[in-house]
Amino acid sequence: DTGVSQDPRHKITKRGQNVTFRCDPISEHNRLYWYRQTLGQGPEFLTYFQNEAQLEKSRLLSDRFSAERPKGSFSTLEIQRTEQGDSAMYLCASSLQGYTGELFFGEGSRLTVL
Amino acid sequence: AQRVTQPEKLLSVFKGAPVELKCNYSYSGSPELFWYVQYSRQRLQLLLRHISRESIKGFTADLNKGETSFHLKKPFAQEEDSAMYYCALSFNQAGTALIFGKGTTLSVSS
């Protein structure tokens, strides 16, 4: 297991297009988190799953954003009708239940909206 | 609202000098606090957590509830400490995700 993996690593798209990011967590981790990071900012929480259940969503997650984790393993984050303000690094992290605060992060998917 | 403040964007020190990265938080309950670190071209990773009261790579951090602070300290900086450091707060032991500060870049030069 090489840790949390994210795909694609980089995505350039035109405004108005839809994009989808995939995250594969560490295999035994049942919690999965999505964060967004823009230049000069720390990671901002978007949403998290415990197994396949989406337990919390940030108000940052507008209606254009949707996340799924259908079988409790990998997750996808879709952004519909992208806007230039969506340009950011999208980070995925996973952890074990029995919360310790240790999140294991992926390398991120960088989105550029032209 | 819960908030984490890291007042310094950049901290530059010489090798061997003491380091203190500041973190203040806003939370009315009993927080759990963490420091995460991101070295160049590496993933964000946990450095230490306040409940463990541990020293990692020579770094320590003490939670001061009176001053609502969780400053990260190291007595003698090394060049390999150069990285981005994020302070993070968890306010729900049921598992709500972390709130991160904006980060401080530590630059250690020889």
Half-sphere exposure at residue B28, Cβ-oriented, CA atoms within 13 angstroms: 1
- Predicted confidence at residue B40, as pLDDT, reads 94
Query: Which site among B63, B98, B104 would you substitute to test the A interface, given the most A Cβ atoms closer than 10 Å to its Cβ?
Result: B98
pLDDT tens digits, chain A, 114 residues: what are they? 579 999 999 999 999 999 999 999 999 899 999 999 999 899 999 999 999 999 888 888 889 999 999 988 999 999 999 999 999 999 999 998 776 678 999 999 999 999
- Predicted confidence at residue A80, as pLDDT, reads 97
CB within 8 Å of B86: residues ≥ 6 apart: A42, A43, B6, B35, B36, B37, B38, B44, B100, B101, B102, B103
Interface size, chain A vs chain B, as Cβ–Cβ contacts under 8 Å: 58
Tell me whether A101 touches chain B (CB under 8 Å).
yes
Half-sphere exposure at residue A88, Cβ-oriented, CA atoms within 13 angstroms: 21
- Whether B94 sits inside 8 A of A99 (CB atoms) is yes
- Cis preceding linkage at A70, omega within 30: no
- Whether A100 sits inside 8 A of B49 (CB atoms) is yes
- Whether A106 sits inside 8 A of B43 (CB atoms) is yes
- Predicted confidence at residue B92, as pLDDT, reads 62
The Cα–Cα gap between A78 and A64 comes to 8
- Predicted confidence at residue B27, as pLDDT, reads 85
- Predicted confidence at residue A59, as pLDDT, reads 85
- Predicted confidence at residue A94, as pLDDT, reads 94
3-state secondary structure of A80: coil
The Cα–Cα gap between A14 and B66 comes to 49
- Predicted confidence at residue B79, as pLDDT, reads 97
Q: How buried is residue A68: exposed, middle or buried, by Cβ count under 10 Å (0-12/13-18/19+)?
A: middle
Chain A neighbors of B99, CB-CB under 8 A: 45
Residue type, B24: N
- Predicted confidence at residue B96, as pLDDT, reads 63
- Whether B97 sits inside 8 A of A105 (CB atoms) is no
- Predicted confidence at residue B93, as pLDDT, reads 58
Residue ranges for chain B with pLDDT beneath 70 = 91-96
